[in-house]
Structure 1
Amino acid sequence: MANIKEIQDRMRSIQDTLKITNAMYMISTSKLKKSKKMLADTEPYFFALQSEMSRILRHLPEFEDIYFESDSAVEKKSEEKRVGYIVITADKGLAGSYNHNIMKAAYEHLQTHPNNKLFVLGELGRHYFEQQGVRIDKQFHYTVQNPSLNRARNISEELLQQYHEGKLDEIYIIYTAMVNAVAEEVEIKQLLPLKRADFAAMHIPVDAPREELALVPSAEAVMDRIVPDYLVGFVYGALVEAFSCEQNARMMAMENATNSAKDMLHELDILYNRARQAAITQEITEVIAGAKAQKRKKKR
């Protein structure tokens, strides 16, 4: 059995850790509330953009644009496609399996498209892909801990430029989405080219009356103006949701760590009491043994 001093030292160490996990839990809670508010404040605008794109496509079923998949385009083989990946990870750990899940999913998806370009957000993602020997084309620093529309716009403009120049045929974004308060899952979404089916919110009969729609100066010009803003909104939403998931994962990890620390303190408290009781018993035994020795000495 460990002595009293060893047990006390260990208890003090766990108590210090407990303060840290409690503080990290409170910080993550505050950040999670902030990120949810950020997403709620901007969602209506980008949902309205998506709705307008859906209206345009509904009225112009034969409409073709560089941003949308074309039925007449020659389908390239998977290994020939130049595919860009935006992978959103965290800058730090202590968030359970949050980073592991997204890096594993991203690495597996990268293997399906050998001709790829990787754009990483988050220090842990950079370290992981460097260790795996995967080439990183660009890393966006200081983004995941402070998602903003300006940073989302910078990311989107970088990808759009390469898409327009023909350096990329497809663009995917890989991030973590929150299913509910306790569940998260990795999402792999295709940003470009867009799919018409994603904007078909509902089935409308052919003979149903349709409102008049004026597109000035042209449908292509209107769509070319809307789509970049829509992509900015999607990237921003992914950044905020990934940030929310990271904080939620860290909250749960810190809560589990706190509970484990409390359980360890309870067990150590029992050990401490047993060791203290054993020490007291030892002292009493020694006092009694000394008293008996003195009695025997006096009798002689």
Structure 2
Amino acid sequence: MAGMKEVRDHIKSVEETLKITNAMYLIASSSLRKARKQLEDTLPYFEKISSTISDILHHSPDIHHAYFDQRADKAGRQVGYIVITGDKGLAGAYNHNVLKLAEESMCAQRAPTLFVIGQMGRAYFSGKGIPIDGEFLYTAQDPTMARAREIGNTFVDLFLNGQLDEVWIVYTKMVNPLRLEPVCTKLLPLERDLFPWQRRPSEHYTKTVAYLPSESVVLDQIVPGYLKGMIFGALVESYCSEQNARMTAMDSATENARKLLKDLNLTYNRARQSAITQEISEIVGGAAAEDQ
């Protein structure tokens, strides 16, 4: 049995760890609520952009636009991947799962172009010798509209200039608090199926719609906003998923620490009782020797 001093030191160490894990749980919980509210506040704006694109496609079914160019016949197709991970660990399997999906998706391409958001992704791909073509620092832990706009503009330019023929984003979606699902979603080129006509069958559409100066010019202006919303949504979903995974991991660690403390206190009490019993035995033995 370990000595009382060793057990006491172990108890103190576990108590300090318990304070840390509990604090990390509370911080993750607060960050999760803040991020979800931020996403919910911006949803109406991006839903309106999506409905406008749908409206244009419905009224101009023959329109051809660069953002919808599938480039099916181009040789040497260049495919870019944006992979979103966290900047730190202690979040269960959150980083592992999204990195595994990203690597599987990239293996299907001849020479994929890789862009990373998050230090864990950067360390992973660098450690495996996979070249990183671009990275966006200080984004994973602080998803903002400004950063989403900057990232979106970068890939719009790469796509329109022909440097990339497809752009995919790999991130983690929080389906519910108990289910985090890594997904791989195409950003560019856009597909018409993503913008179904949203009018109900029972409704009669009587408005005359005119987009000035033209539908194509309007799409030039609003599609980057749509992509910004997609990227911002992915950043916030990833951040929420990371915080939720960290909450779960820290809650489990806190519970394990409490169980360990209970066992250590029991061990300490047994050691203390054993030491007291031994002292009593020595006193009784000494008294008996003096009587003889």
Normalised TM-score (structure 2): 0.95
1:219 to 193, 215, 232: 215
Q: Which amino acid aligns with 2:283?
A: V
1:212 CA drift (Å): 1.9
1:210 CA drift (Å): 5.2
1:58 aligns to what?
A: 58
1:275 CA drift (Å): 0.9
1:201 CA drift (Å): 5.4
Task: Give the 3 Å change call, closer, same or farther, for CA 210–83 of structure 1 in structure 2.
Answer: farther
1:173 CA drift (Å): 0.5
Between the aligned partners of 1:271 and 1:235, the Cα distance in structure 2 is: 53
Between the aligned partners of 1:25 and 1:261, the Cα distance in structure 2 is: 14
Aligned length: 291
Between the aligned partners of 2:137 and 2:239, the Cα distance in structure 1 is: 14
2:285 aligns to what?
A: 289
Between the aligned partners of 1:243 and 1:129, the Cα distance in structure 2 is: 20
1:127 CA drift (Å): 0.2
Over aligned residues, Cα RMSD in angstroms? 1.7
Q: Which amino acid aligns with 2:2?
A: A
The question of whether the paired residues in 1 share the 8 Å contact of 2:58 and 2:197 is answered with: no
The question of whether the paired residues in 1 share the 8 Å contact of 2:172 and 2:181 is answered with: yes
Q: Which amino acid aligns with 1:60?
A: S
2:44 aligns to what?
A: 44
Q: Which amino acid aligns with 1:46?
A: F
Taking the TM superposition and a 5 Å limit, the aligned residue runs for 1:96-175 are 96-175=92-171
**Which shows bigger deviation, 118-127 or 209-218?**
209-218
1:196 to 182, 192, 196: 192
1:76 CA drift (Å): 5.1
1:266 is the counterpart of 2:262 = yes
The question of whether the paired residues in 1 share the 8 Å contact of 2:187 and 2:227 is answered with: yes
Between the aligned partners of 2:207 and 2:81, the Cα distance in structure 1 is: 38
1:75 CA drift (Å): 4.0
Q: What SS does the corresponding residue of 1:47 show, helix, strand or coil?
A: helix
Q: Which amino acid aligns with 1:121?
A: I
The question of whether the paired residues in 1 share the 8 Å contact of 2:173 and 2:180 is answered with: yes
1:141 CA drift (Å): 0.6
Normalised TM-score (structure 1): 0.93
1:203 CA drift (Å): 8.2
Between the aligned partners of 2:61 and 2:214, the Cα distance in structure 1 is: 15
Between the aligned partners of 1:201 and 1:272, the Cα distance in structure 2 is: 70
Q: Deviations over 1:169-205 (max 9, x none)?
A: 0000111111112211011100001111111155877
1:126 CA drift (Å): 0.2
Q: Deviations over 1:80-134 (max 9, x none)?
A: 3201111110111111111111111111111111321111000110000001111
The question of whether the paired residues in 1 share the 8 Å contact of 2:152 and 2:231 is answered with: yes
Between the aligned partners of 2:141 and 2:74, the Cα distance in structure 1 is: 37
Between the aligned partners of 2:272 and 2:155, the Cα distance in structure 1 is: 66
Q: Which amino acid aligns with 2:219?
A: M
Q: Which amino acid aligns with 2:51?
A: S
Q: Deviations over 1:133-154 (max 9, x none)?
A: 1110111111111111111111
Between the aligned partners of 1:261 and 1:69, the Cα distance in structure 2 is: 56
1:19 aligns to what?
A: 19
Between the aligned partners of 2:205 and 2:177, the Cα distance in structure 1 is: 42
1:95 is the counterpart of 2:95 = no
Between the aligned partners of 1:45 and 1:34, the Cα distance in structure 2 is: 19
Between the aligned partners of 1:252 and 1:86, the Cα distance in structure 2 is: 26
Gaps of 5+ in 2: none
Gaps of 5+ in 1: none
1:208 CA drift (Å): 6.3
**Which shows bigger deviation, 57-66 or 217-226?**
57-66
1:74 CA drift (Å): 3.8
Identity of aligned residues (%): 47
1:241 aligns to what?
A: 237
1:35 aligns to what?
A: 35
1:8 aligns to what?
A: 8
1:211 CA drift (Å): 3.1
Between the aligned partners of 2:20 and 2:30, the Cα distance in structure 1 is: 15
Q: What SS does the corresponding residue of 1:194 show, helix, strand or coil?
A: coil
Q: Which amino acid aligns with 1:217?
A: P
